Amino acid sequence: MTLTAPPATGVRTPWEDLPAVVRDAVAEVLGAPVVRAVTQSGGFSPGVAARVRTAAGRTGFVKAVSADANPHSPGLHRKEARTAAALPAAVPAPRLLGSYDDGTWVALVFEEVAGHQPRVPWQRAELDRVLDAVAALARTATPSPVDAPPVAEDLAEAFSGWRRLLAGEAGDVRGRLGEWTAGRLPGLAALADGWAEGASGDTLAHSDLRADNVLLTADGVVFVDWPHALRAAPWFDLLVMLPCVRAQGGPDPEEVFTAHPLGRAADPDAVTAALAALTGYFLHGSLQPAPPGLPTLRPFQRAQGEAALAWLRRRL
């Protein structure tokens, strides 16, 4: 399988462009002014994402964004701050050290994790480490240790993609998504309509696992960027992750899912319905205009959507 997804990178704001009041707030959390900042390119946020070091030698990881860059990004940072503050130590995620919010700028300061993202295209040994960690996360996070929203509520609008395509939101579906998809829109929409019941559960799911949201450390795997956390079935993270793995050069998602302990324990009909809804989300989203500050998001969604659609067609 060749890599079909473009790089999962956005347009980052340099650390030096942060207002002085935000940099001062970060210094207060870390105990000294930042003297070195290295921007991290992975991920789609248009804000700051930087590993930093202070004058006293302390390190950290800073995320910061304003509504000027993207009107929805500050809200995601606020959600992540609430989730990160509530995550127990048993969940493999960076610890939140502090945050700043003045109504326009939102900044989060995390502990720095010594690790690296998995290589893309995916390497099997690294993928196996991550798949084992996804299984362990589901065990650790059931029942959910965080009061996250239920999946049926949180993704109700996002997972209505086929219905919205059927209503003509994206114009010429046949020309944009192909004959097979256009000819089956009513059936795909009907299949996806039943996704919520089977995908519901009380496992805390990250719900946005991709290579750029994973760090491989010397002794384990750490999952970063938690603004989309929700409560779902134990297999939900695995399902959401695999189309992206496929688009980034990984193995067949059906083979990986059915061989994984979370996939083996899942109800097949529930998985197919949720996969249909996920596919509709990716493909509908890929046909929308690029959000402010996120010029690379739509092509990445299209690659995930095509991988998800191929997986869905196999299951059907």
Q: What is the pLDDT of residues 44-82, one digit of tens each?
A: 778 999 999 999 999 999 999 998 888 889 999 999 999
Rounded Cα gap, residues 225 and 235, in angstroms: 19
Mean pLDDT of the chain: 94
> What pTM, to 2 d.p., does this model score?
0.94
Q: Please, are residues 228 and 206 in contact by the beta-carbon 8 Å criterion?
A: yes
Q: What is the pLDDT of residues 290-311, one digit of tens each?
A: 988 788 899 999 999 999 999 9
> Domains of the chain: which residue ranges?
15-113, 116-315
Question: In which band, very low, low, confident or very high, does the pLDDT at 9 lie, cut at 50, 70 and 90?
Answer: low
DSSP H helical ranges for 141-213: 151-154, 161-166, 173-177, 179-183, 185-193, 195-199
How far from 196 is each of 160, 266, 273, CA to CA, in Å?
11, 14, 8
Residues of the chain with pLDDT > 90: what percent? 86
pLDDT digits (tens, 9 = 90+) for 20-53: 999 999 999 999 999 999 998 777 778 999 999 9
- The pair phi, psi for residue 58, each rounded to 5°, is -80, 145
pLDDT at 143 > cutoff 70? yes
| Fold annotation for 116-315 | Aminoglycoside 3'-phosphotransferase; Chain: A, domain 2 (3.90.1200)
Q: Does domain 15-113 have CATH number 3.30.200.20?
A: yes
Residue 198 — very low, low, confident or very high, per pLDDT cuts 50/70/90? Answer: very high
The whole-angstrom separation of Cα 118 and Cα 229 is: 21
pLDDT band at 10 (very low <50, low <70, confident <90, very high): low
